A and B are shown apart, each in its own frame.
Chain A
Amino acid sequence: MCPGLFGKLYCRHSELSDTAESKLMDSIEKKTLNVDSMTPSDPMNVLIVGVGGQGVIMVSKVLATMCQLQGHTVKQSEVHGMAKRGGTVFSHVRFGTQVWSPTIPKGKADIILALEWAEGLRWINYLDKNNGTFIADTQHIVPPFACLNRKRGALTGYKTHLPGEVLDYVHVGYALDATAIASEIGNYRVSNTVLLGTLSTVLDFPLDLWRRVIGESVPPKTIDLNLKAFEAGRRWAEEARKNGMAPDQSPVIVPDDQPQPEEDNFELVLTLEWCKGCDICVKVCPERCLILNSEHKVELTNADLCTGCRICEWLCPDFAIDVIKTPHEPQTGMSR
């Protein structure tokens, strides 16, 4: 498995054949970035990315505070305003003896910490290909614009690579299901602290300071939970290094060249004698494919747009609309 395995990738939840495991074990060495060796022109670059609401800003604040307390010059810049909940959020943290620019150039990030898998992939070209460390949560948050085709059974536009495929782009990779770890601890929302725990094993900062800064950065009620999550993230990274876990194959995404699953077909049957032209179906249809015609009766304008969501059927007080699921048509010339 994983013929292109030339980096080191630590993942969770899977099995590895004996030979592959021993090979992986041989190639594992602990990588700690030595902060003292940095030159003034070459600061340490950490890029933190994720989805709005996950806690990207909290992670970057903790990291920036840590660096400040360690006596480094820190510059941090973030984009979060338009993201609110559900959009893409990123934060650049640069620290060293002297930092000139607050943003990280492409291909120069020493560490990418991704709180969501596809967001990590989106920013992977910022990572230093030869020396970079990639830490990512394998959970998938599918954005609404990836679901433009609202037909039932339709594919989403959310495309991603398996952790094994990411190896070509990273020097060291950690792919963990931080959300599952956080849920085991008690709240999935501390997954960002789990990842912070994993990050702390890569950076050479004192452990007590990490705990103190996290305690000061999170709401008082959640300090215990966050510290537990931090320990879990650290423990995971240490175990992963020791045992050499195999690339996680669990996220199954159908590539473009594979046959796509068949979409359900729906037929709209209108009983015009029962229609009283109340206009409800026209107003509630998300695809805007119904109108009232000149006789004040419902009419389907474009059958291709109908996704079979049944909202018109459900909200028709006169039972004049029936959405009928039909068997799949044979695949002849259907490109969509």
Chain B
Amino acid sequence: MDSSSADSFNIRDFLRLDMFPHFLCPGCGHGIAMRALLWAIYELEIPKDKLAIVSGIGCSGRIGAYIDANTFHVTHGRPLSFASGLALARPDLNVIVITGDGDCLAIGGNHMIHACRRNLNMTCMMLNNEVYGMTGGQASPTTSEARYTTTSQSGCIEPVFDACALATAAGASFVGREVTIHLPDLKDLLRQGLAHKGFSFIEVLSDCTEVFGRKNNLGESPEMILSQKSRMRPSSYGSVDGNIVDEPFRANTLPTGILSRNERPEYGDTYRKHAADIRALKSGK
């Protein structure tokens, strides 16, 4: 655990202090994920002018509003589309997309797979709390089977979306997953994702106490956060070849850490090179 920068990191330097306290419920893991993201940004010494944070709709989407940087709060499910335009037009910016499980996988599922496919240089932090929290606790694509929500009163029967497997298959060049309780690990993962050239997809397993945990008897927020330890297993595949070779050895656990990583061409570079070639061709004629 690297905590050398912990002494010098002050989160208040990155917050819009006049908007605090934030609107998230007591014990919401999104706040912890936000700290990890800001700490990673601090460690990479990214200036605020070069930071563009795009967020969608939902509890996760509100996080962008609290960060003192260039923030962009957009329509439901489309933060990756807006961010794609931004990253293409301004390659000098560090584009970070903060999105939720419903925002990214249901409403914006189409945009997500194509953002992964293009491999534009940006980082997508998906906060997965298994539920649509802001709208009252409806079942989302990542709600585990047999969980009770307002739209699955007798237990959810739909199979779960594995967002990381989807992102890997769709072509994201950096895919990782981490839980909020391992904050220094989450920070390190986000830092590597931010430093990666290409599309980085990072799933953060968060907790929703108010509308999900209470309905499912998962305890208060401390219990929900501490139980994350038993839900994850450290990944065995930190290799660079991008192939998933993990063999599950425990049922009902998710692999965490860097799940796949490769160095395939970044779309912005390809696009600019292509444009320059055409321009040269035209001026030559």
Contact = CB atoms under 8 A, between A and B. Distances in A.
Interface of A: 273-274, 276-280, 282-284, 310, 314-320, 322, 325
B181 A315 contact: yes
Interface in B162-190: 180-181, 183-184
A282 B222 contact: yes
Given A315-B183, A317-B30, A317-B31, A280 B221 contact: yes
Nearest to B66: A319
Nearest to B29: A317
Interface in B4-49: 6-7, 10-12, 15, 20-22, 24-32, 35
Contacts of B30: 317
Contacts of A279: 27, 220-222
Nearest to B223: A283
Contacts of A276: 21, 25-27
Given A279-B222, A280-B221, A319 B27 contact: no
Interface of B: 3, 6-7, 10-12, 15, 20-22, 24-32, 35, 180-181, 183-184, 209, 220-223, 225-226
Contacts of A282: 222
Contacts of A322: 10, 12
Contact of A278 (B26, B35, B181): B26
Nearest to A282: B222
Give me the 7 closest cross-chain CB pairs, A-B, nearest first.
A317-B31, A278-B27, A283-B222, A276-B26, A278-B26, A274-B21, A314-B183
Given A284-B222, A310-B3, A322-B10, A317 B28 contact: yes
Contacts of A318: 21-22, 24, 26, 31
Nearest to B21: A274
Contacts, number: 67
Contacts of B7: 325
A12 to B, nearest CB: 32
A280 B21 contact: no
A55 B181 CA distance: 35
A314 B225 CA distance: 13
A284 B225 CA distance: 10
18 contacts: A274-B21, A276-B26, A278-B26, A279-B220, A279-B222, A280-B27, A282-B222, A284-B225, A314-B184, A315-B32, A316-B32, A317-B221, A318-B26, A319-B12, A319-B20, A319-B31, A319-B35, A320-B21
